[in-house]
Every structure is written in C-alpha cells, then in structure tokens.
Amino acid sequence: MTDDRKLAVLRAIVEDYVATEEPVGSKALVERHGLGVSPATVRNDMAALEEEGFIHQPHTSAGRVPTDKGYRLFVDRLTTVKPMSAAEKRAISTFLDGAVDLDDVVQRSVRMLSQLTRQVAVVQYPTLSRSTVRHVELVALAPARLLVVLILSTGRVEQRLVEVDGQLDDDVLAILRSRIARAVTGERIADAIAALGAISSAPGDEPVGLVAAVVETLTDAMSDHRSDERVAVGGAANLARYGDSFDTSVRPLLEALEEHVVLLKLLGEASTGGAVTVRIGHEGPYAELSSTSVVATGYGPGDDAVASLGIVGPTRMDYPGTMTAVRAVARYVSRILDEA
C-alpha cells in the first residue's frame, strides 16, 4: 500500500465520519469517494491504518472511526483548506465593520465565528501588556478637573478624571500633553510606564502636582490588567447537536466554559504571522477534555498578536472549514484594530 493511498483512505474516513458520526465501512468509502480500488483492497488498507493506530473499530462488525492520531495526520497533511465563499467573506466584513468599539468587536467576532463553524467560539480580549500607546489626550473639563484619555493599539480606550490643585492653564496643559506624547506614543506598555516615571522624576515648567497627578493616572491605566484574563464565549448551543456524545465530550466542555482561565489555557499563546494551531484530543492541557479539539490563532494590529481567538469542540469536527473560518475572522479583526 502506498502512502498516498493510505492518506486518501484516511482522509475519506475522516470526512465521512465527521459528516455522519457513523463508523465508516469499506464499501461506503469506495462508493462515495471513487478511490479506484475494490472494497477488499480498501479493507486491507483500513486494517493497516488500524494497526498503525490511525483508526479503530468501536465494536465488532462495525466500520472504523478516526483516532486522535488519525485526525492529527489528516490535519498535518492538509494541502488546502476550504476556500471561503465570496458571500461568507462579505458577511464577515459587513458584520465586523459595523463595530463601534473594542467590546463590540470582540462580541461580534465571537458570534460570527460560532455561526461560521457551528462550534463554541472563544475570543480573548487584547492583552494589555502587548499593547502600544497610540494616543494620549488631556482635556480640561473644569477649572480644576481634567479628563485623561489613553488610547492603545488594540483599540482599548481608558478615560480617567483627575482633580488638581489650582486652576488649569491651557498653555501649560498643551506643553505637558506634548511632553507625554513624545515620551510614550508608539511605546510598549512597560516602556511607556518607564518613560512616565522619567517625566515624573524630572518635571519641567509645569506644576509638580499636575505632573504627578497625570503621570499617576496614566500609569494606573496602563497597569490595569483586568482585561488580560477576559474572554468572550459564543455558540454553546451548538453543542446540543452532538447528541449521544454529550456525556463524554460535551459535558466537561460546558463546565470548562465557566472558567475563563481554563479557556485561555486551551487557546494557548497567541501566534503571530497568521499561523493556525490545532490541538487534538489528548494533545490539550486537560485530561478531562481529551475528547475536545481546539483550533486557534492570534490576532492584533500589524504583525503583533495581542490575543487569541478560536473554537473549541469535540474532536469530530470539520477541520479544514474551521481552520479557514478562524484564520479569516482573525484577519478581519486584526485589520479593524490596525485601522482604529
């Protein structure tokens, strides 16, 4: 048996099992996939695949189903992923372009991803520590009240009110705004915080109290890591279609959806360069979720991956279509953040 034919038989078994959730027999493979060989030859091929651990027979006289090892070979040897239709691309673009802020982008992304894949979608909020400072604004709201606005590369906007001693002077405020902007714009959060410290320790002509209050406020806003462990989840209702496999595959996953730390670990580290990672069954970090697969990638402005998004579901999934959808949504979200 050639490796090419072995792979063709395995690919056919995976595709049929994903579509039907029924063990696949040799006769059905020949009829549906035009393998160009007899059912007897396919049975021999299936026996070889089973011996190597790529498929198994759930019970006597049944067809075969893929193992985690079989799914892994199938995914690793994919030469192409399913192309996304023009209508799907248009739907993603139209839906995501309507977002009004970062929260809306995340919520729309998770809904779109769950609809495209019919799986549970998980989108991590952008990680603050990987952000850069896009803009800082100081706005006088009253003689002694100041609005400090911090805009990050991820689209995140922080607004803080500051009460100061004495009256605010527009010229002084403009000078301080310019000093801070030169020091922090385009800098990673850690470097921006260090730059703010330098401004605080070496104040210019601006009132020391004003400088200290603004620096402290901006530093606090940059150090707020509340979003780093936030995720949005959508499409849990899709799990209902797994019926008989609920207890073994879906129940542990439903419990995991309540734990954001668990979901973040499932997604893994955000990957750069548009790479999509696929972790199948026992390759994941949790033994109780060994019937679960995760397809994920990083997203962010430019080439920076500031967070992860992906889908989680039973190992019996449409891997090519899911990988395409995950990559497409990540690219659209990255573009939106880049243009924000």
What CATH number corresponds to the domain at position 265?
3.30.450.40
Task: Of 295, 245, 248, 237, give the one whose Cα is nearest residue 17.
Answer: 245
- Residue 81, domain member (yes or no): no
What's at 25, amino acid-wise?
A: G
- Please indicate, yes or no, whether residues 266 and 121 belong to a single structural domain of this protein: yes
Domain limit, last residue, from 169, 191, 225: 225
- Please indicate, yes or no, whether residues 236 and 331 belong to a single structural domain of this protein: yes
Note down the domain range covering 257: 86-125+230-339
- Please indicate, yes or no, whether residues 315 and 257 belong to a single structural domain of this protein: yes
How many domains, the chain? 3
Nearest-angstrom CA–CA distance, 202 and 274: 42
- Residue 267, domain member (yes or no): yes
Nearest-angstrom CA–CA distance, 8 and 262: 36
Pairing of strands 145-152, 157-163: antiparallel
- Please indicate, yes or no, whether residues 97 and 47 belong to a single structural domain of this protein: no
- Please indicate, yes or no, whether residues 235 and 334 belong to a single structural domain of this protein: yes
- Residue 295, domain member (yes or no): yes
Domain limit, last residue, from 198, 225, 252: 225
- Please indicate, yes or no, whether residues 242 and 110 belong to a single structural domain of this protein: yes
Output the tens digit of pLDDT for each of the chain's 340 residues.
457 888 889 999 999 999 888 899 888 888 888 888 888 888 889 999 999 999 998 877 678 999 999 999 999 988 767 778 888 888 898 888 888 888 899 999 999 999 999 999 999 988 777 788 989 999 999 888 999 999 988 778 889 999 988 888 888 899 999 999 999 998 988 899 999 999 888 767 778 888 889 999 999 988 865 556 789 999 888 877 766 555 566 677 777 777 888 888 888 877 766 789 999 999 988 888 888 899 999 998 777 778 899 999 889 999 999 999 999 999 999 888 877 6
**Sign of the torsion angle spanned by Cα atoms 32, 34, 40, 46:** negative
- Residue 326, domain member (yes or no): yes
